């Protein structure tokens, strides 16, 4: 089979690395890829006809979509209509609205009795200002559309909520993504991410992972795409997962015949199985969680991707109490992200990347924002640049391996130009 992965980050590079193991794959490509993905082809993940041309030229059988934008733009529907012999892994445009529109997602959850914070839909500035007057504090404000992870803010006083609402509606802070806004009740608890791979009727649970969103140690600094992760995550019990499978994932399957990855962002309120709420749905895998999830999967990933697109009926499942999951290797993975200094705000690109000749045992480096420059050297090409991933028996051991490897990197590279967190895995 010939596979094309869409995207250029650590998530896509981790999927690429996992699929390199697959005996059924004769050619693996990435578009646009990065310096860590061998067969990277030029292109833009948002240009569907351009992607179709690349896929046809390279006789692609299956496209694996990493980021949400092509899914929300309807890449699955596009290929079904114009090139139905090329399969695309992911949900169709309607189902991808679960991530693409917070209001769509809220309405769906309310209709299907899925536990979610109460919300108020605001279609204009006037309605939003009135709703803020009546809303209990703190107030959660969510821009309706895709805002690259920046669309949510939490306000402990009305003045800051009002000023944010004005920025969204009047100054168009998020462009059209802020044409509508959802106000939500503030939830407390522990956040956890649950990933399921779905085939329209059934869902299999992937390994859990914990993500560190803030830029600096001790969860300080601005929110980022994610600065590190480990798997398994320690906040979701099997009882929580069983409840989520039945009460959250099943309604998504029933309503959308959902295919691809369903990422359920949860707030876990207590140890009781049913004491959790959905914070958000995403229609793709998480980054940097995937970098920890992929190495833990036992066996070949390809059969599951084909199962999801309807090409393969039988896959190996492990039955737990209340849910089925993919077979998983024992042990723990941990990933620390090396980012450009200044990320997620202003940062330089083109920074020199020099990787060690030999990695610490059990460690591999996954590229994110990297590329080859004109003279063939690896340079940075984004905010998050490298993922240092370790596999070990325990989290403590995995952490120690990751930071040993980072020591090696700091000897080779100018670390005045980079940042990383030193506390990944501590809690
Ligand atoms: P989202 O993009 O919806 O996942 O929101 C981004 C982050 O905002 C989440 O990871 C939570 O930390 C926080 N958040 C979102 N909704 C709520 C809520 N209703 N209550 C508390 N925190 C929230
Ligand atoms: N790591 C969070 C996300 O991928 O949305």
Handedness of CA 402, 406, 409, 414 (dihedral sign): positive
Judged by its nearest atom, the ligand closest to the C-alpha of residue 291 is 2
Listed range (4-8, 209-213, 297-301) with the worst mean pLDDT: 209-213
Claim to verify: residue 200 and residue 292 sit in the same structural domain: yes
Q: Closest Cα to atom 4, ligand 2: which residue? A: 286
Judged by its nearest atom, the ligand closest to the C-alpha of residue 227 is 2
Name the band, by pLDDT with cuts 50, 70 and 90, for residue 143. Answer: very high
- Domain stop point among 266, 295, 325: 325
pLDDT mean across residues, the chain: 96
Locate the ligand 1 atom nearest the alpha carbon of residue 213 and give its number: 10
Q: Tell me if 417 CB under 6 Å of ligand 1.
A: no
Overall average pLDDT of the 300-321 stretch? 96
pLDDT > 80? residue 58: yes
Claim to verify: residue 154 and residue 227 sit in the same structural domain: no
Name the band, by pLDDT with cuts 50, 70 and 90, for residue 364. Answer: very high
- Does 304 map to a domain? yes
Query: What does residue 182 show for φ and ψ, rounded to 5 degrees?
Result: -115, 125
Overall average pLDDT of the 293-304 stretch? 98
| Alpha carbons 290 and 406: distance in angstroms, whole number | 20
Mutational pocket test of ligand 2: of 147, 211, 290, the residue with most ligand atoms within 8 Å of the beta carbon: 211
Q: Which residues line ligand 2 (CB under 6 A)?
A: 211, 226, 282, 286-287, 289
Claim to verify: residue 283 and residue 249 sit in the same structural domain: yes
Domain that holds residue 20: 2-90
Q: Closest Cα to atom 5, ligand 2: which residue? A: 286
Q: Tell me if 48 CB under 6 Å of ligand 1.
A: no
Ligand 2: centre distance to CA 226 (Å) = 7
Overall average pLDDT of the 175-193 stretch? 95
Ligand 2: centre distance to CA 99 (Å) = 12
Overall average pLDDT of the 135-149 stretch? 94
DSSP label at residue 217? G
- Domain stop point among 282, 305, 325: 325
Claim to verify: residue 242 and residue 275 sit in the same structural domain: yes
Claim to verify: residue 360 and residue 303 sit in the same structural domain: no
Name the band, by pLDDT with cuts 50, 70 and 90, for residue 172. Answer: very high
Claim to verify: residue 248 and residue 266 sit in the same structural domain: yes
CA atoms within 13 A on the CB side of 111: 10
Overall average pLDDT of the 143-150 stretch? 91
Claim to verify: residue 361 and residue 320 sit in the same structural domain: no
Mutational pocket test of ligand 1: of 280, 281, 286, the residue with most ligand atoms within 8 Å of the beta carbon: 280
Claim to verify: residue 170 and residue 122 sit in the same structural domain: yes
What DSSP assignment string belongs to 171-187?
Answer: S-TTGGGGSSEEEEE--
Locate the ligand 2 atom nearest the alpha carbon of residue 229 and give its number: 1
Residue 170: the pLDDT is 95
Locate the ligand 2 atom nearest the alpha carbon of residue 211 and give its number: 1
CA atoms within 13 A on the CB side of 380: 22
Claim to verify: residue 300 and residue 283 sit in the same structural domain: yes
Q: For residue range 388-404, what is the model confidence (pLDDT) as tens digits?
A: 999 999 999 999 999 99
Ligand 2: centre distance to CA 122 (Å) = 26
Instruction: Please state, in angstroms and as integers, the Cα–Cα distance from residue 126 to each residue in 20, 165, 179, 180, 226, following that order.
Output: 54, 10, 13, 12, 35
Residue 234: the pLDDT is 77
- Does 36 map to a domain? yes
Locate the ligand 2 atom nearest the alpha carbon of residue 263 and give its number: 5
Overall average pLDDT of the 282-296 stretch? 98
| Alpha carbons 56 and 41: distance in angstroms, whole number | 13
Claim to verify: residue 285 and residue 348 sit in the same structural domain: no
Q: Closest Cα to atom 2, ligand 2: which residue? A: 286
Residue 328: the pLDDT is 97
- How many structural domains comprise the chain? 4
Overall average pLDDT of the 362-382 stretch? 97
Claim to verify: residue 380 and residue 346 sit in the same structural domain: yes
Tokens 């650590």 map to which residue? 10
pLDDT > 90? residue 427: no
Ligand 2: centre distance to CA 286 (Å) = 4
Overall average pLDDT of the 365-390 stretch? 97
pLDDT > 80? residue 301: yes
Query: 306 by DSSP, 3-state: which?
Result: helix
Ligand 1: centre distance to CA 306 (Å) = 32
Residue 313: the pLDDT is 85
Mutational pocket test of ligand 1: of 279, 281, 287, the residue with most ligand atoms within 8 Å of the beta carbon: 279
Q: Closest Cα to atom 4, ligand 1: which residue? A: 280
| Alpha carbons 10 and 26: distance in angstroms, whole number | 22
Judged by its nearest atom, the ligand closest to the C-alpha of residue 150 is 1
- Does 157 map to a domain? yes
Q: Tell me if 265 CB under 6 Å of ligand 1.
A: yes
- Does 103 map to a domain? no
Q: Tell me if 415 CB under 6 Å of ligand 1.
A: no
- Domain stop point among 127, 156, 185: 185
Ligand 1: centre distance to CA 66 (Å) = 22
Residue 194: the pLDDT is 95
Q: For residue range 197-227, what is the model confidence (pLDDT) as tens digits?
A: 999 999 999 999 999 999 999 999 988 999 9
Cβ-count burial of 382 within 10 angstroms (0-12 exposed, 13-18 middle, 19+ buried)?
buried
Judged by its nearest atom, the ligand closest to the C-alpha of residue 139 is 1
Listed range (148-152, 188-192, 335-339, 380-384) with the worst mean pLDDT: 148-152
CATH number of the domain encompassing residue 42: 3.40.50.20
- Does 358 map to a domain? yes
Residue 107: the pLDDT is 98
- Does 195 map to a domain? yes
Q: How far from the centroid of its chain's Cα atoms is residue 424's Cα?
A: 18
CA atoms within 13 A on the CB side of 7: 24
Neighbours of 220 (CB within 10 A): 9
pLDDT > 80? residue 261: yes
Name the band, by pLDDT with cuts 50, 70 and 90, for residue 150. Answer: confident
- Does 373 map to a domain? yes
CATH number of the domain encompassing residue 135: 3.30.1490.20
Claim to verify: residue 342 and residue 320 sit in the same structural domain: no
């Amino acid at each position: 089979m010939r596979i094309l992965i869409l995207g250029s980050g650590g998530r896509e590079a981790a999927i690429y690395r996992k699929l390199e193991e697959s005996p059924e794959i004769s050619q693996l490509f990435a578009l646009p890829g990065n310096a860590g993905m061998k067969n990277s082809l030029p292109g833009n993940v948002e240009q569907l006809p351009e992607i179709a041309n690349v896929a046809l030229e390279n006789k692609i059988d299956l496209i694996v979509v990493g980021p949400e934008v092509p899914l929300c733009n309807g890449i699955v529907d596009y290929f079904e209509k114009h090139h139905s012999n090329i399969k695309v892994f992911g949900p169709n445009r309607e189902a991808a609205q679960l991530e693409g529109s917070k209001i769509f997602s809220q309405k769906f959850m309310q209709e299907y009795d899925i536990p979610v914070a109460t919300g108020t839909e605001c279609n204009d500035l006037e309605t939003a200002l009135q709703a803020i007057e009546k809303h209990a504090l703190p107030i959660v404000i969510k821009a309706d559309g895709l805002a690259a992870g920046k669309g949510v803010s939490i306000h402990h006083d009305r003045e800051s909520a009002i000023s944010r609402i004005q920025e969204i509606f009047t100054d168009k802070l998020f462009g059209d993504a802020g044409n509508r806004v959802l106000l939500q009740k503030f939830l407390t608890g522990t956040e956890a991410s649950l990933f399921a791979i779905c085939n329209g009727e059934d869902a299999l649970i992937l390994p859990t992972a914990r993500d560190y969103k803030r830029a600096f140690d001790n969860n300080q600094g601005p929110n980022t795409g994610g600065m590190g992760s480990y798997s398994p995550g320690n906040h979701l019990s099997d009882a929580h997962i069983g409840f989520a499978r039945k009460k959250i994932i099943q309604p998504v399957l029933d309503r959308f015949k959902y295919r691809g990855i369903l990422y359920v962002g949860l707030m876990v309120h207590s140890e009781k199985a049913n004491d959790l709420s959905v914070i958000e749905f995403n229609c793709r895998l998480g980054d940097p969680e995937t970098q920890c999830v992929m190495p833990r999967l036992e066996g070949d990933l390809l059969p599951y991707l084909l199962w999801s697109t309807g090409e393969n009926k039988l896959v190996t499942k492990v039955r737990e109490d209340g849910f089925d999951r993919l077979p998983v290797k024992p042990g723990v993975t941990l990933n620390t992200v090396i980012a450009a200094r200044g990320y997620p705000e202003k940062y330089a690109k083109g920074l020199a990347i020099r990787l060690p000749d030999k990695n610490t045992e059990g460690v591999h480096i996954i590229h994110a924002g990297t590329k080859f420059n004109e003279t063939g050297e690896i340079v940075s090409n984004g905010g998050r640049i490298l993922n240092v991933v370790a596999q070990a028996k325990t989290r403590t051991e995995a952490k120690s391996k990751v930071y040993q490897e980072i020591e090696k990197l700091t000897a080779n590279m100018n670390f005045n130009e980079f940042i990383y967190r030193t506390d990944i895995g501590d809690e």
